[in-house]
Amino acid sequence: MKKRIAILVVLMMAVLCMTAFAEEEAESTVNPEALSLFSSEWVDGYTSAKIYAEEGQWRVWITGAGGTTEWDYCCRFDEEQKTLVSVDEPINVKTEITIDEEGSEIGRNEVYSDGKAVFALDGDGKLIWKDEKEDAGAGFAFEKIGWFQGVWIAGEDLASHYELNCYWDIEEPAEGEIYSGYKIEITRDDNGACTCWLYSCMYEPETNLLKTLFATKEFSGQEGDPFTTVYEDGDAEFSFDDDGCIRWNDKIEDAGEGLQFSATNG
């Protein structure tokens, strides 16, 4: 009986080791060079592309202007050409999306599932989409913008938490402003009082940082009161920590000290 138990223990340990090895092997299939080159969100006008590693392969998800068309590719990394190449399987899907007058999705129609494409970087580091199915990528040169977009929250106290809203803005800047692309709005509500920091930032791919071009701080003493400007010469950097949260390095008053902004579904 003891011998049988010993054999079972050995078999179980072997299975656990094989499972761990398989998981480690799957993780190692993601080329670190590919991560550095491609893993990011990319934009060209109102069209965006999200590229990320998934189970040892690469997913490229492109959303057309207005959000009415999507392309979803499964790719492999070509180490020699430094490109992402769609796999030769019928899982590269184009979908047409129907949206109502209020902007809500009301229907999806799969146009095809045998798409074929190659994704490469040009000399300026922009993403080129070579669509070999219908040439939908013609004319696009996507700019790398990192993973900052979205709504992020810091602080556990709902009465005095911080909210960071980061978005890519392609609108023309107002007179006297500098075009940056990224806008960050940080608000802190504290028992009716509201403080708001407004930043225009440039993304630096080499360091994966957002750096301020110009910024202002505004304050309202209670709900309904107009905002007054505290300063207009703000300076800050935004980065990611090891937990995937945004850190706010405020160089004017250190307002972001100790804050860790976590992503929400907003």
Residue 23: band (very low, low, confident or very high) from pLDDT cuts 50, 70, 90: very low
- List, for residues 43-100, the tens digit of each pLDDT value: 998 899 999 998 888 999 999 987 889 999 999 999 999 999 999 877 899 999 988 8
**Nearest CA to 97 among 85, 86, 84, 111?**
111
Residue 116: band (very low, low, confident or very high) from pLDDT cuts 50, 70, 90: very high
Three-state DSSP class for residue 172: coil
Q: Look at residue 179 in the predicted model and tell me its pLDDT.
A: 58
- List, for residues 206-238, the tens digit of each pLDDT value: 999 999 998 999 999 988 889 999 999 999 999
If you average pLDDT over every residue of the chain, what do you get? 85
Residue 178: band (very low, low, confident or very high) from pLDDT cuts 50, 70, 90: low
Q: Look at residue 222 in the predicted model and tell me its pLDDT.
A: 85
Residue 18: band (very low, low, confident or very high) from pLDDT cuts 50, 70, 90: very low
Cβ burial 83-103 (10 Å sphere, 16+ → b, else e): bbbbeeeeebbbeebeeeeee
**Nearest CA to 52 among 67, 35, 69?**
35
Q: Look at residue 67 in the predicted model and tell me its pLDDT.
A: 83
